[in-house]
Amino acid sequence: MELIQKEEHSNTPIARASAKCWQSTWGMLGPYFERTTGQPLHAGLKVRLQVYPQFHEAYGFSWIITDIDPTFTLGDMARRRQEIIRQLKEEGVFDLQKELTLPLFSLNIAVISSQSAAGYGDFVNQLSDSPYDFHTQLFPAIMQGEQVEESIVNALNAIYNVCADQQTLAFDCVVIIRGGGATADLSGFDALKLAENVAQFPIPIITGIGHDRDESILDMVSHTRVKTPTAAAQLLISHMDSTSQRIDTCGERINTFFSLLKTREEARIEKIASYLSPLVFHLLEREQHKLEMLEQRAKALDPALLLKRGYSITLHNGHLLRNAAEVEPGTELETRLEQGTIISIVK
């Protein structure tokens, strides 16, 4: 391997040396390093090595490695993570995803995963076994090794382009999943460019990249972080469950509200209806009473009653005669009695 020291904040090498490790030594150091740091030794890592110099006539000068200090690398990784986090916060993008809301109906899902991953199959199966009509579209990406960053960023761009083509947010959320396979090498998820792309993505991103250790930076900047692809599917299903629950509750509330309203309005109509007929009968009775009174008064005035009591009525030319001075001798008068009429001449 080649050991390089670079200038601070740039990629310019300022020192360079060749180093070697015997197979038998690396057989112990390699797994120890990988176990402690969570990743195999690869280009770009900062390491602290115990070495001794050796000069070989044919191969030249090199450092021979006898021991490695993984905690140094771990410390450097943590420092770099902190640096990325600080930079994201400084750019004001760290919490951008948290401000997005997962749509009530998150049914159209863009999935970033490796196509062959067992986790991807589980995720898709779990969604299709649910009662909801989920649609998933895979945007394949390499989820392990050094190409992770580039590959996920490309997949995000592809998703963005689909949305731009349709001029709408074609997906309700993006799910980045990785499941099964070898021990987690998560260093690829602790990358600045990837974090910036995820943080500023306009659609909520859910991560399920399967690991138990500390959150990766990708997890931190995403909208929601779950541990596994299965948990991601479960999250989407529960989200739909709660949406459906909300709809059901509203339906029940409408039902209850309307039965109350119906009862109230029925009572209102019934009350008016029950007034009506007694009111009409009362009015009719009152009129009838009035009529009876009039009838009695009319009866009392009936001249037949007077005739019966012995009075008589005298008429002249069909008109009532009230004054004797009104007639002259020789005039013919008609007198009505209770029974019969007398015609007489005035003397």
Q: Which residue of 78, 118, 267, 280 would you call a contact of another protein, by CB under 8 A?
A: 280
Total residues belonging to the chain? 347
∠ CA 10-13-18, nearest 5°, is 145
By rule CB under 8 A, what count of residues binds another protein? 20
- Smallest separation, CB 267 to another protein (Å): 11
- Smallest separation, CB 127 to another protein (Å): 22
By CB under 8 A, residue 289 contacts another protein: no
Residue 180's SS3 state is coil
Dist CA 216 CA 35 (whole Å): 17
Fill in the per-residue mask, 257 to 276: x = in contact with another protein (CB under 8 A), - = not in contact.
-x---x--xx-xx--xx-xx
> Please, which of residues 218-257 interact with another protein by CB under 8 A?
247-248, 251, 254-255
By CB under 8 A, residue 125 contacts another protein: no
27 φ, ψ to 5°? -55, -30
- Smallest separation, CB 92 to another protein (Å): 43
The beta strands (E) that lie in the chain are given as 2-6, 13-20, 49-56, 60-68, 108-113, 135-140, 173-177, 205-208, 224-226, 313-316, 319-320, 332-336, 341-345
Exposure on the CB side of residue 338, measured as CA atoms within 13 A: 7
By CB under 8 A, residue 287 contacts another protein: yes
- Smallest separation, CB 347 to another protein (Å): 55
- Smallest separation, CB 262 to another protein (Å): 6
Q: With 0-12 CB in 10 A as exposed, 13-18 as middle and 19+ as buried, what is 11? A: exposed
> Please, which of residues 182-211 interact with another protein by CB under 8 A?
none
Q: What are the residues binding another protein (CB under 8 A)?
A: 247-248, 251, 254-255, 258, 262, 265-266, 268-269, 272-273, 275-276, 279-280, 283-284, 287
